[in-house]
Amino acid sequence: MSRKDYYAPLLRNWVYPLAQRLQGRDFHTTMNAALRDQFLSSDEVRELQFQKVSALIRHACQTVPYYRQAFGKIGLEPGDIKTWEDFKNIPILTKELLRVNEESFISTKPDSALFMVKTSGSTGTPLKIMVGQRAALRANVSRIRSLKWWGIELGDREIRLTNTGLSFERGWRKFYSDYISTPMRNMLMNRKYFSAYTMTPKMMQEHWEVILEFSPRYIFGFPSAYTIFANYLHEKGYDGREANLKLVVTSGELLHEWQEQLITTTFGCPVADEYGSVEAGVIAYSHPCGDMHMMDDGVIVEVIKSNPGDEYGQLVVTNLDNWGHPIIRFNLNDLAKTIRNGHDCSLGIGLGILEGLVGRSQDVLRLASGRIVYNHYFHNLVKYVRGVKQYQVIQKKPDHFEFKILPEGDTFNHEQEIYIQDVVREHLEGSTIVIKIVDNIPRDPSGKLRFVISEV
């Protein structure tokens, strides 16, 4: 039995709405609308999106220098967007365009005070996004609504297993952050942070003891961090089900099927995957029906294929609530198969369904011939190799790879090395692969662990 939580209702009904109010956000109104709108029909959802996007485009044309110029160049007036076809004629925005024109994307008349958020820069170039209060509230509301699908209520005890457990401050700021502001905020929010950066056996032992003592309803974190933690629990012979978790939420990295299975068997609870980005907020969330629903009342998601016959297309997103730094038809560099109508949901949610999300396209390797290799190829390969604890594949040239291997015990040997080289040569059009035995696989600057990286 999990420990009774007397604070959660207080946080849910008073502390959280009040904290949002102090930032100028009307939590109850937006939350109630979101709870209602998730049951709209597909047509009604499209209508709601169209109203919101028309207003956003008008605002962007009038107050955002970049859009005024870009739309002007193609002779587009705000009133010209009368149908979805018109919307689809708006040019696609890239990360590079956002970066180069940083200042000119900011509205001269934002609808609220803005705060700055930096993207993680997994491509090596961090990006600054200014977020308005309405967009920030929307992201919170989308997450709270999705967690409710899984029986998690706002204010329930939470542990976060992400990058944010470490302070990068120095001097008195570090003291203030480590001992005053962060602990206070976490206490008020009924949560604790574990850093995915420091998953040493000693830390994981401490984490396990804290989990048993704190008794969180759910944990939120990177799939790779759970994988390491689950393996540790198995090694020590601990039963993860004793944590009595209702849900594990994964975010920030692509969730592989084997990871989902490992987490489910270790903790004896379902796994929900959250998909989002700094530019767009929360974009899609797993639902108990088995599909991933898009947060259609806050974003417009498109899957754009270069050829109609392609299996996967680029994910392009429009953030409907950020009037401070409008993001319209932004290419996230992620891939998905298709979008389906919400009414396929067996549990009555009308929000659209995002199918076949395969994550960052920069983690998708393109061979010299143009053929695409998805990162799960390497996971399947590693399943046949003994003694690999962790790995990372880096594509150095279209036909040349580096395979970093963190071995487990001494079962990884020359024979295994030859096996990998042979299989890769055969499967990947004669590509060569160099094996490097390492004692550590570094995380990227945001704390995420990437299995497959393309430098091509």
Question: Contact residues for Zn ion (CB under 5 A)?
Answer: 287, 289, 345, 349
Task: Answer positive or negative: Cα dihedral of 335, 338, 342, 345.
Answer: negative
- Nearer to Zn ion among residue 292 and residue 335 (C-beta): 292
Phi, psi angles (nearest 5°) of residue 259: -70, -40
- Nearer to Zn ion among residue 269 and residue 354 (C-beta): 354
Tokens, residue 367:
């061979």
Shortest Cβ 286–Zn ion spacing (Å) = 9
Tokens 């298709």 appear where? 338
- Nearer to Zn ion among residue 286 and residue 375 (C-beta): 286
- Nearer to Zn ion among residue 128 and residue 340 (C-beta): 340
The three-point CA angle 288-263-232 to 5° equals 165
Shortest Cβ 197–Zn ion spacing (Å) = 34
Return the number of other C-beta atoms located less than 10 Å from residue 306's C-beta: 9
Phi, psi angles (nearest 5°) of residue 44: -65, -35
Shortest Cβ 248–Zn ion spacing (Å) = 19
- Nearer to Zn ion among residue 147 and residue 381 (C-beta): 147
From residue 146, alpha-carbon distances to 36, 186, 245, 293, 336 in Å are 13, 21, 17, 9, 20
The half-sphere exposure of 440 on its side-chain side, counting CA atoms within 13 A, is 7
Shortest Cβ 52–Zn ion spacing (Å) = 22
Shortest Cβ 291–Zn ion spacing (Å) = 5
- Are 375 and 364 within 8 A, CB to CB? yes
Shortest Cβ 288–Zn ion spacing (Å) = 7
- Nearer to Zn ion among residue 340 and residue 400 (C-beta): 340
Q: Could you give the CA distance from residue 263 to residue 272 in angstroms, rounded to a whole number?
A: 11
